[in-house]
Homo-oligomer: A and B are copies of this chain.
Amino acid sequence: MTPEYFIRKVIVSAQENVRRGGGPFAALVVHHGEILALGTNRVTTDNDPTAHAEIVAIREACRQLGHFQLTGCDLYTSCEPCPMCLGAIYWARPARVFYAATRYEAARAGFDDAFIYEELTRPGPERRIPLIHVPDETAWMPFQAWLDHPDRKPY
């Protein structure tokens, strides 16, 4: 199976998802040449702003594997991941990510991920959604509890 095979498959799923009332996005997690999970965009159908295709596919693949890492897996997505999904990819750590449409094509269809990419580079208080630091003398305590915990499971 070539990357082109899975890419074409994920594009078809993205197109089908529109007919089912979802957004025009799909993602696949492939493990040893087999499809482990298919995710499609369910933001409006599930009232879940985090239900992008990649997130749905990552969660389902981890459920299948019984682990919180996608070691050795490849992720195929119909469109270049947005910052949220790219962050999720870094936490899930698949081997490689393949995508078809670019963020510029997504923008032409009204999905302006580029705006979020820009916002991420701005200082917190200057962002469209203000990010406000509230210093608190107890802020370190959860981390101290973590470091002191004998059975902590790093991820």
Cβ contacts A83-107/B at 8 Å (1 or 0 each): 1111111111111111111100110
Query: Who on chain B is nearest to A64 by CB?
Result: B47
User: Quick check: A138 and B11 within 8 Å, CB to CB?
Assistant: yes
Instruction: Name the B residues within 8 Å of A91 (CB-CB).
Output: 43, 49-50, 52, 82, 84, 116
User: Given contacts A4-B134, A95-B129, is CB(A143)–CB(B101) below 8 Å?
Assistant: yes
Instruction: Name the B residues within 8 Å of A26 (CB-CB).
Output: 142
Instruction: Name the B residues within 8 Å of A101 (CB-CB).
Output: 139-140, 142-143
Interface residues of A (CB under 8 A from B): 3-4, 7-8, 11-12, 14-15, 17-19, 21, 23-26, 43-44, 46-50, 52, 55, 58-59, 62-63, 65-70, 78-102, 105-106, 108-110, 115-117, 119-121, 129-136, 138-143, 145-147, 149, 151-155
Q: Could you give 16 example pairs across A and B, Cβ below 8 Å?
A: A15-B145, A21-B153, A47-B62, A49-B69, A50-B88, A78-B142, A87-B87, A90-B129, A94-B129, A96-B130, A97-B131, A100-B136, A101-B139, A101-B142, A105-B143, A109-B143
